[in-house]
Structure 1
Amino acid sequence: MSDEDFLQFEEDEEEQPQGKKPDCWRILVVDDEPEVHRVTRLALDGFTFADRQLEFLNAYSAQEAQKILKGSPDIAMILLDVVMETEHAGLELARWVREDLKNSFVRIILRTGQPGQAPETEVIANYDINDYKEKTELTSRKLFTLMYSTLRSYRDIMAINKNRQGLQKIIESTASLFELQSLQKFTRGALEQLSALLHIDEGTFYGADDGLAVTADGDNVIIQAGTGKFQSFVGKPLSTALPEDLCQDLMTHLDKSDITIREHDYIGSYISRTGSRNLLYLSGLEDISAVDTDLVRIFGQNLAVAFDNLYLMQRFRTNEQMMMHEVGEIIGSRCTAADDHPDRVAEISRFLARKVGLDSKSVNLLYKAAPFHDIGMVSVPDSIINKTEKLSEEERRLVEKHTETGHHILSQSSQDLFQAAASIAKYHHERWDGQGYPGGKKGEDIPIFARIVGIADVYDALLSPRSYKSAWPIDDIKDYFRQQRGKQFDPNLTDILLVHAEELAALNPIQEKA
């Protein structure tokens, strides 16, 4: 043999442990001849690729190889003999890896000393392997060449896969972030998703890094979320958590919208269209690859859009609440004796909705929509609203029209809040027995929101003094609701109200004075 040939036997070496070594390419040698394992290790002694050495795992049968492969999904390459416990054990193992284990990443190099039993053309055509070599042709130099080409292929395939996983993570995380509606939850979620993105294939807990998320309002820079050593600083000024030099560094980034990825840390600054300044900082990172950098930049761009939407949504909610308050004031001003009546109806409605088992989203929507129930009263003259005598038939019909007027006003918007409020405005005077107005709806045909507000409206109205009546005693109100159970009101809601009547009465200032 020439000095190129690697099949030169040396003294036995001690078996190396099969535990994973850090930053190594894992190579599984599957062959029933112990000498092949030893000389393979010897021939590749000192081999490195991309600054990483080799780690050898050894299997002496296809069955043993299966056990190793099941527990080691990060094996880069299999040097696989064909003939072992059976004539086609290696071929069957190759098929098992692809079809049963579903591992399409590991590179399979078939090595055979008996090519006649496994003809190259047939094997390449019928089995998903990456190369076919006869043992006699694998000199030391050719083995080096094989390792370079195979590991380069594996590295590139894994980079593509990580890119795919990263893009999938970005899509999933962006969707979940859009669901987080409070600023603190959103920034915490963004921090966790960013850390997860940088540890896609490491299996580490993504809260393990030291990271923080801050928002700035003028000179007031507050930590909204923290992981690792910054976890205890949530709600505190940035200056209390960091050394002065690092604090100044982050403050400099806070005033510009950009992403900075350094050797061991990440700084992402996001200035929304509303002018709000936000920053994510992650430290203690290692080996941020080009793939990581590209993925993080894509995530950062999506995050900037998410911050914009969050602040726009918060602004919308603020405007929504201000408008709700103004409308409530308008309604309340039409009848000064019913001071804060819309707000109390909302509180009672929320209480009943929770007791009847509505989900939290529905309860919150009802609470916001309930104060609009009598908005249609803006069309009714003050002379009728404040009249102390019994209303004439014409006046009564004019008052009843407030339900359809309110529905017309509120239904012009497609927003969920106004659609819910429009339904409440129209149907809250319907009766369980079908004798209400405007449509004579009956029983469960009446929307649940309208049934709840209808009972809350009457309850608070009876508790409150009006121009045409005094406040009713609580016992008289309970008697009235018992009489109207299943007639005017939903029986189930009536029972809940009766159980909690005194508790709800405390919401009314007239009762507090009494």
Structure 2
Amino acid sequence: MNNDDLLFIEDDIETPISLHLSPWKVMIVDDDKEVHAVTKLVLSSFEWDDTPLHFLSAYSAYEAEQLFLEHDDIAVALIDVVMETDDAGLRLIRTIRNELSNKATRIVLRTGQPGQAPERKIIREYDISDYKNKTELSGIKLDTLMCSALRSYQNIVSLNKNKTGLELVVESSSALFDAMTYETLIDETINYLSKLVVQCSQTPAYALSCLGIYCNTSVFHLIESRGDFAHLSELNDIDKLPDNASLLITQCIFEQRHIFAANAFAMNMPSSSNSAIIFYFEGFSALSEQDIALLNLFATNTKTSFDNEELRHELEEGQREIVYLLGEAIERRSKETGNHIRRVAEITRILALELGYSVAESEKIKSASPLHDLGKIGIPDNILHKPGALNAEEWKIMQTHVEIGYELVRYSSQSILQYAALISYQHHEKWDGSGYPNGLKGEEIDLIGRIASLADVFDALAHDRCYKKAWPIEEVIQFIDDQEGLHFAPLVVAAFRKNKAQIISINERYNDDF
């Protein structure tokens, strides 16, 4: 679809239709059947907001109460005072307001015996819209009464709906703010947007169809689908969408704004690099101006969450890059290649994933691992670069690099540097307690420390160092097996075996000869 096609989008595509789609429910509560018949006859042609009335009949307070339990959308109730008892109507009003917690239905009290329920007393003590003598309810007066009552009911429902909608927007703000990844943020956005559309349009959730589409220039990827779009799994071209969806989404992207139609809308959540998240919904009842205002408010809050997530991602990427460059500088000082930290980083990520860490946490552990030898920055060159074996005194100094690295980053509030402190401090501890600096044993060593230990030793043995030649890969693997339960944690060795082919592939891909 090219830009010229947008000329065919109608100008009023975002003009909402405000109609009450189902008839207004009016309950007549009276023990006189003739009152029911006359009321229905007088109001037979009445309409409000282009919508007719639907009558419910109850001939006692008990019947009325049962109908209120069945129907939560009764707009107006015309209630007689005297039915099975002299105050049955008054008792019914208290039940409706207090026990059923119905504050929306407009109640008009009608009586043929005004002396039994004085108007001044009733108006003050009961939550009713009006109090009429049955002889007053001529055609014109009843018409006027219904207009007033339905307008009031409509306003109350609208206020309640907006209140609930605002509560959803506030609730969503907290949930979206706490989202830790783009995937979670998108899932929560679709979840709360669905709830808000249902609340605003009073449409059953199962009737909605929605798409979350990540678009980057001209490429579209379906994130999640429901309803009519459940069969779509990949989108490389917007023209694969149904016409109505394609039209709104194209306009939404082209004009970089939200587009609202009578029963569909597309929301544009812009991002950097000419990309955005587009949320498309259809299948709901018409939205009012207040509904659209709520959805726009939600979109504004959501955009802030996406902006925050993008900023957080950029900060983390910057932090990872700094950590990597620092790690590479340390390796160069040690006269080792930067590929060492690449290999160790990838191996720690693989083992962390295998051992139950989330994708996000595994990426952080990977990002922290390049600083495992951070403390070597404080080791003298004559020891660091000595081609042969270190004597006892030199070895004691070399061992201090774990504490130097730990002290450099231990007080950081950044999660990656916190992991780096742990890895630096514990990657030379051994499962049997013979490691350093603290001789920790077994599960006294953090799992991240155990993972880093195996990854570092594997890579150190498999590649040349200033003091040794690389071992054949078969001998390295045999050493790992032989040291299970001694140098290395059995759980980590098992994870290594399960992912051995992938780890060997990484070892070859980042070979120092390349």
Give yes or no for TM over 0.5: yes
Secondary structure of residue in 1 paired with 2:220: strand
Tell me which residue corresponds to 1:168.
167
Contact 1:29–1:37 under 8 Å retained in 2 = yes
1:155 — aligned with what? 154
1:274 and 1:500 map into 2 onto residues whose CA distance is 39
Q: Bigger CA drift: 82-91 or 467-476?
A: 467-476
**Number of corresponding residues:** 482
Aligned to 2:209: 209
Whether 1:129 and 2:124 are equivalent positions in the alignment is no
Question: How many Å apart are 1:253 and its aligned residue?
Answer: 4.5
Q: Alpha-carbon deviation of 1:112?
A: 2.9
Q: Paired residue for 1:24? A: 23
Question: Corresponding residue for 1:13?
Answer: none
Q: Measured at CA, do residues 254 and 359 of structure 1 come closer, stay the same or move farther in structure 2, by a change above 3 Å?
A: closer
How far, CA to CA, are the matches of 1:499 and 1:266 in structure 2?
Answer: 52
- Find the residue that maps to 2:236 and give its secondary structure: coil
Give the secondary structure class of the aligned counterpart of 1:39.
helix
2:143 corresponds to 1:144: yes
Instruction: Provide the rounded CA distance (Å) in 2 between the counterparts of 1:181 and 1:135.
Output: 64
Give how far 1:22 is off.
Answer: 4.7
Q: What secondary structure does 2:314 align onto?
A: helix
Superposed, 1:16-55 pairs within 5 Å as 22-55=21-54
CA contact 1:344–1:508 (8 Å) conserved in 2: no
CA distance in 2, matches of 1:71, 1:280: 36
Return the offset for 1:54. Answer: 0.9
Verify the 8 A CA contact 1:24 1:54 in the aligned structure 2. yes
**Structure 1 partner of 2:384:** 385
Tell me the CA shift for residue 289 of structure 1.
0.9
Task: Provide closer, same or farther for how the CA distance between residues 383 and 62 of structure 1 changes in structure 2, counting only shifts above 3 A.
Answer: farther
Is 2:65–2:92's contact at 8 Å kept on the other side of the alignment? Answer: yes
Which structure 2 residues correspond to residues 315-334 of structure 1 after superposition, within 5 A?
315-333=314-332
- d(CA) in 1 for partners of 2:327, 2:159: 58
RMSD: 3.9
1:261 is matched with which residue? 260
Matches for 1:483-494 after TM superposition, within 5 Å:
483=486, 494=489
2:492 aligned partner: 497
Give the whole-Å Cα distance in 1 for the aligned partners of 2:293 and 2:247.
27
Q: 1:306-347: per-residue Cα shift (whole Å, max 9, x none)?
A: 332343334334434444544454455456778744455445
Find the counterpart in structure 1 of residue 415 from structure 2. Answer: 416
Asked if 1 retains the 8 angstrom alpha-carbon contact of 2:266 and 2:281, the reply is yes
Cα deviation code 1:193-244 (max 9, x no counterpart): 4454333152412672365635233xx242444555555264312244365x
- Where does 1:444-463 land on structure 2 (aligned, <5 Å)? 447-458=446-457, 461=460
> Displacement of 1:81 after TM fit?
2.4
Q: How does 1:34-433 map to 2 (within 5 A)?
A: 34-178=33-177, 186=185, 190=189, 193-200=192-199, 202-205=202-205, 208-209=208-209, 211=211, 213-217=213-217, 220-225=218-223, 229=228, 232=232, 234-241=234-241, 251=250, 253-272=252-271, 276-283=275-282, 286-333=285-332, 340-346=339-345, 349-350=348-349, 353=352, 362-381=361-380, 383-411=382-410, 413-430=412-429
CA distance in 1, matches of 2:38, 2:431: 89
SS of the residue corresponding to residue 199 of structure 1 reads: helix
Supply the distance in 1 between the matched residues of 2:371 and 2:265 (Cα, whole angstroms). 48
Q: 1:136-161, CA deviations, whole angstroms, 9 ceiling, x for partnerless residues?
A: 33333322222111111111111111
Tell me which residue corresponds to 2:11: none
2:31–2:59 CA contact under 8 A, matched in 1: yes
What SS is found at the alignment partner of 1:108? Answer: strand
Contact 1:27 1:55 in 2 (8 A): yes
Contact 1:478/1:501 (8 A) holds in 2 = no
Alpha-carbon distance between aligned partners in 2 of 1:427 and 1:159, rounded to the nearest angstrom: 61
**Once the two structures are superposed, what CA deviation does each residue of 1:109-151 show, in whole Å capped at 9, x if it has no partner?**
2223344444445444444333333333333332222211111
The TM-score normalised by the length of structure 1 is 0.78
1: CA distance between counterparts of 2:219 and 2:146?
A: 53
SS in 1 for 2:213: strand
**2-structure distance, mates of 1:287, 1:505:** 58
Sort the Cα spacing of 1:189 and 1:236 in 2 relative to 1 into closer, same or farther, 3 A: farther
Which runs of 5 or more residues in structure 1 are unaligned?
1-20
Once residues 252 and 163 of structure 1 are traced to their aligned partners in structure 2, the CA distance between those partners, rounded to angstroms, is 28
Name the TM-score, length of structure 2 as normaliser: 0.78
Give the residue type in structure 1 aligned to 2:135.
T
Question: How far off its partner does 1:50 sit?
Answer: 1.8
For 1:100 and 1:294, the matched residues in 2 are separated by 34
In the TM superposition, residue 76 of structure 1 has moved relative to its aligned partner by 1.2
Q: Looking at both structures, which has the greater relative contact order when contacts are Cα pairs under 8 Å and sequence separation is at least 6?
A: 2
Provide closer, same or farther for how the CA distance between residues 71 and 381 of structure 1 changes in structure 2, counting only shifts above 3 A: farther
- The aligned counterpart of 1:10 is none
User: Residue type matched to 1:213 in 2?
Assistant: I
Q: Quick check: 1:233–1:241 contact (8 Å CA) kept in 2?
A: no
Tell me which moved more, 344-353 or 394-403: 344-353
Q: CA deviation at 1:68?
A: 1.9
2:21–2:51 contact (8 Å) kept in structure 1: no
Tell me the equivalent position of 1:3.
none
Amino acid at match of 1:216: N
Instruction: Go from structure 1 to structure 2 and tell me whether the alpha carbon gap of 1:442 and 1:98 turns closer, same or farther (over 3 Å shift).
Output: farther
Post-superposition CA distance 1:166-217 (Å, at most 9, x none): 2222233344444556656655654564454333152412672365635233
Taking structure 1 as reference, are residues 511 and 267 closer, same or farther at Cα in structure 2, changes over 3 Å only? Answer: closer
2:241 partner amino acid: A
SS at match of 2:157: helix
Q: 8 Å contact 1:80–1:90 — kept in the other structure?
A: yes
Kindly tell me: are residues 198 and 404 of structure 1, through their superposed partners in 2, closer, same or farther at Cα, counting changes over 3 Å?
same
Q: 2:483 aligns with which of 480, 483, 487?
A: 480
What secondary structure sits across from 1:76 in the alignment? strand
Is the CA contact 1:464–1:508 (under 8 Å) kept in the aligned structure 2?
Answer: no
Checking the alignment, whether the CA contact within 8 Å between 1:211 and 1:283 is kept in structure 2 is no
The verdict on how the C-alpha distance between 1:121 and 1:510 changes in structure 2, with shifts beyond 3 A counting, is: closer
Q: Which runs of 5+ in 2 are unaligned?
A: 1-19, 510-514
Residues of 2 paired with 1:187 and 1:502: CA distance? 36
Please list the CA deviations of residues 375-407 of structure 1 after superposition, one character each: whole Å capped at 9, or x if unmatched.
222333554334343323443343233223323
In the other structure, the counterpart of 2:14 is none
Alignment CA distance shift 1:330-1:439 (3 Å): same
Q: Percent identity?
A: 36
Instruction: Measure, in 2, the Cα distance between the counterparts of 1:71 and 1:111.
Output: 23
The alpha carbon displacement at 1:360 in A equals 5.9
Equivalents in 1 of 2:281, 2:505: separation in Å? Answer: 52
In 1, the alpha carbon distance for the partners of 2:384 and 2:253 equals 56
Shift of 1:56: 0.7
Which secondary structure state, in structure 1, belongs to the residue aligned with residue 77 of structure 2? strand
After superposition, the Cα gap between the structure-2 partners of 1:413 and 1:345, relative to the gap in structure 1 and judged at 3 Å, is same
